Amino acid sequence: MMNVCIANMISQVKEISARRADAAGSAVLAGVPGRRRCGEPATSRAAGFTLLEVMIAMAVLAVALVAVFQSQSQSVAMLNRSRFETTASLLAQSRMAELEATVPAQLRSDRGGFGDDFPDYSWEARVENTPLSGLVKITVVVANDRMKRNNTYRLDLYRVVSQE
């Protein structure tokens, strides 16, 4: 068996040497036989992937890409929602602080915008009496006019007003 392997290797070396001589200095050797183990029969099937293997690989890749894109889309939506919650809560607290500083006799329901700093946001303040005398409910609602849904933030405050 060992002699057969050595004989195979010697014949391959001779074949390669002959092709090199025929190539006359060419750096590329076309058709050099592939290496195989001693005693292993030569196969006529070329190494590579079948169409079925490629189609299965493409299907797996497609499923993985759909999951990645869906995750990315969800991440962007969560970022936008988080940005709205943060901005709206700060704007509502700011407007509520202004209403808290107002003299109780001048408390009125009103609405408006936040100017050029936040052009997409508007506010509405409602002042309502409660069943308890001397207590009013102040509600500030901040809305983002560009968003289609989940676009409002509400802040409530109960304030004691004197009975004078």
Residue 50 lies in a domain: no
Instruction: Summarize pLDDT for 81-125 with one digit per residue, the tens.
Output: 999 999 999 999 999 999 999 888 888 999 999 999 999 999 999
Half-sphere exposure of 156 toward its Cβ, with a 13 Å CA cutoff?
A: 7
Residue 39 lies in a domain: no
The chain-wide mean pLDDT, for the chain, equals 83
Residue 35 lies in a domain: no
Closest by CA position to 138, among listed 150, 147, 130: 130
Residue 137: which domain range?
66-160
The enclosing domain of 149 has a CATH number of 3.30.1300
Count of structural domains, the chain: 1
Residue 81 lies in a domain: yes
Residue 95 lies in a domain: yes
